[in-house]
């Protein structure tokens, strides 16, 4: 009988032993894939938050602006430049911006802020500021109103934890307060009634401002209040203006949410005495894969000459990339520790299997089976076990990963509060299958192959008489 057929039959002579060994490989693959997917998915989510709420993937700027972000490093936007960019097949829309800094004051509180002049309509193609408007806010006043209503006690306790929190949708409100499906129909309308936040937006030509949620809390500024901005304008002129706060936005990047002020781009140009000037053109793109972005940067870089230049998201986010790389290395260490645990688990099951079959190996050698033949059968058995375990691990982890990708885990209650205190969005998401899938399978396969060395070594050292007495 051929070795591969004999090996397959041997697996099912003792189903329990085989299933235990397969289970060790299965859980190894499952835990490795889920852990790595969650880690990489969280990194990707953080990157996208910063990129899609602020920098974009590609910008056209004055060549000196990124290294020295002063209002003097602007450029005059012309239709010819816009047409040149839009000739690229991957360009979807041009999003003009004027960015600078100023001191912002509301009442007695002052803070340095980032002033971002935007086109309210075109910004929808990039950061979509309108979708980030605060729609619900929990305050001490509305908490008292909710507590006097007929709602479960556990929700009343949650309200105290999240006083000061704002939400752009009812989903976050439901998760943080722990409103279950059974209570949604009765409790949610009550909570919405008290927490609903009347918000507004900005329009070109109207001197109004949007401010970040955390900034509004710091400045104690509300809708309808006046925001005073003072800074330095183009070529050393004085930039000063008063603007009605028409809306409050909550951005997924807490660091930006804590300091951003949005103005209509024409109003911002008037504030800084830079009519017709921009600091950047962010490009909304159709395909955001790395290869297509690199191609687009190279292509536009040949057409756009100094004093203008094309800059990609990696260069604009060097500090964040370095921080993520450092964190990724610590994540790799954790994965390595997981692999060690996995390796000992697999080796333990192989050790058990070898001890159980010691007499069997002695009998086979005694009746004339060559040790090389026996070793090859055992190796094939472990390969089969590895293949079954890996296939099962992928089959189970793939649906879980895809579900986690389309339905990210939103942390709630105290854990969400802790994340926000550290400046992180309380969301954990999974990375869809990529090259990391291949490498996890390769590593687990290598562990299985290394583990099979032990039974092979035992076979070649088998002493028939001793083994028969085992």
pLDDT by position in tens, the chain (length 470): 577 677 777 777 778 877 887 887 888 888 888 888 888 888 887 777 778 777 888 999 998 898 888 899 999 988 888 889 999 999 999 999 999 999 999 988 999 999 999 999 999 888 889 989 999 988 888 888 888 887 887 887 778 777 888 888 888 788 777 787 777 778 888 888 888 998 999 999 999 999 999 999 999 999 999 999 999 999 889 999 999 999 999 987 778 889 999 999 999 999 999 998 999 999 999 888 888 999 999 999 888 888 889 998 888 888 777 777 777 777 778 778 878 877 887 787 778 777 777 777 777 777 777 777 777 877 888 888 888 888 898 899 999 999 888 888 777 666 666 666 655 667 788 888 888 888 878 888 888 888 888 877 777 776 665 655 55
Opening angle at CA 188, ends 184 and 194, nearest 5: 175
Neighbouring-strand partners of residue 95: 282
Tokens describing residue 87? 């000739």
Tokens describing residue 97? 């911006």
In order of 49, 85, 86, 425, 454, the CA distances from 282 in angstroms are: 15, 11, 12, 24, 59
Burial of 360 (0-12, 13-18, 19+ CB in 10 A): middle
Neighbouring-strand partners of residue 94: 283
Spell out a b/e string for 125-154, using b for 16 or more CB atoms within 10 Å of the CB, else e: bbbebbebbbbbbbeeebbeebeeeebeee
263 Cα distance to chain centroid? 28
Residue 275's φ and ψ, nearest 5 degrees, are -60, 130
Question: Percent helix, strand and coil across the chain, each rounded to 5?
Answer: 55, 20, 25
Half-sphere exposure of 182 (CA within 13 A, CB side): 2
- Strand ranges (DSSP E) for 120-207? 136-137, 166-167
Tokens describing residue 358? 């010691």
**282 dihedral zone (left: phi>0; alpha: psi -120 to 50; beta):** beta
One-character DSSP codes across 303-346: HS-TTEEEEEHHHHTHHHHHHHHHHHHHHHHHHHHHHHHHHHHH
Neighbouring-strand partners of residue 117: 98, 263
- Strand ranges (DSSP E) for 77-127? 91-106, 109-118
> What are 135-191's pLDDT values in tens digits?
998 888 888 888 888 788 788 777 877 788 888 888 878 877 778 777 777 888 888
Instruction: Indicate whether this model's pTM tops 0.85.
Output: no
Tokens describing residue 283? 């490009």
Assign 200 to helix, strand or coil: coil
- Residue spans of the domains in the chain: they are 3-49+320-468, 56-316
**42 dihedral zone (left: phi>0; alpha: psi -120 to 50; beta):** alpha
111 Cα distance to chain centroid? 30
């Amino acid at each position: 009988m051929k070795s591969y057929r004999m090996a397959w039959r041997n697996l099912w002579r003792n189903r329990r032993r085989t299933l235990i060994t397969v289970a060790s490989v299965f859980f190894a693959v499952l835990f490795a894939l889920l852990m790595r997917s969650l880690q990489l998915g969280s990194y990707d989510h953080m990157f996208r938050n910063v990129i899609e709420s602020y920098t974009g993937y590609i910008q056209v700027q004055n060549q000196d602006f990124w290294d020295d972000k002063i209002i003097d490093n602007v450029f005059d936007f012309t239709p010819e430049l816009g047409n040149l960019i839009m000739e690229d097949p991957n360009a979807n829309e041009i999003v003009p911006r004027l960015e600078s800094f100023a001191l912002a004051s509301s009442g007695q509180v002052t803070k340095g802020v980032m002033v971002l002049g935007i086109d309210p309509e075109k910004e929808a193609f990039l950061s979509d500021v309108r979708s980030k408007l605060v729609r619900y806010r929990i305050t001490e006043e509305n908490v008292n109103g909710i507590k006097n209503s007929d709602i479960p006690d556990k929700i009343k306790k949650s309200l105290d934890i999240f006083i000061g929190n704002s939400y752009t949708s009812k989903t976050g409100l439901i998760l943080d307060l722990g409103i279950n499906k059974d209570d949604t129909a009765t409790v949610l309308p009550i909570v919405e009634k008290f927490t609903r936040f009347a918000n507004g937006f900005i329009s070109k030509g109207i001197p109004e401002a949007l401010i970040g949620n955390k900034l509004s809390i710091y400045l104690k500024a509300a809708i309808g209040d006046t925001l005073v901005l003072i800074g330095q304008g183009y070529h050393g002129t004085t930039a000063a203006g008063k603007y009605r706060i028409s809306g409050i936005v909550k951005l997924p990047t807490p660091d930006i949410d804590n300091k951003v002020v949005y103005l209509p781009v024409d109003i911002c140009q008037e504030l800084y005495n830079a009519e017709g000037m921009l600091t950047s053109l962010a490009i909304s793109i159709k395909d955001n894969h790395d290869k297509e972005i690199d191609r687009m940067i190279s292509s536009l870089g040949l057409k756009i000459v100094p004093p203008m230049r094309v800059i990609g998201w990696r260069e604009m986010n060097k500090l964040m990339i370095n921080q993520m790389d450092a964190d990724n290395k610590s994540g790799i260490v954790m994965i390595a520790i997981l692999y060690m645990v996995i390796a000992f688990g697999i080796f333990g099951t192989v050790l058990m299997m070898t001890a159980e079959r010691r007499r069997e190996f002695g009998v086979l050698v005694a009746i004339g089976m060559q040790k090389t033949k026996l070793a090859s059968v055992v190796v094939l058995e472990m390969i089969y076990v590895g293949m079954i375990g890996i296939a099962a691990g992928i089959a189970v982890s793939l649906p879980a990963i895809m579900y986690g990708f389309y339905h990210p885990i939103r942390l709630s209650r105290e854990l969400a509060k802790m994340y926000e205190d550290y400046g992180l969005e309380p969301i954990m998401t999974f990375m869809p299958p990529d090259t990391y899938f291949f490498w996890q399978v390769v590593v687990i396969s290598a562990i299985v192959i290394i583990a099979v060395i032990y039974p092979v070594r035992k076979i070649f050292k088998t002493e028939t008489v001793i083994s028969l007495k085992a």
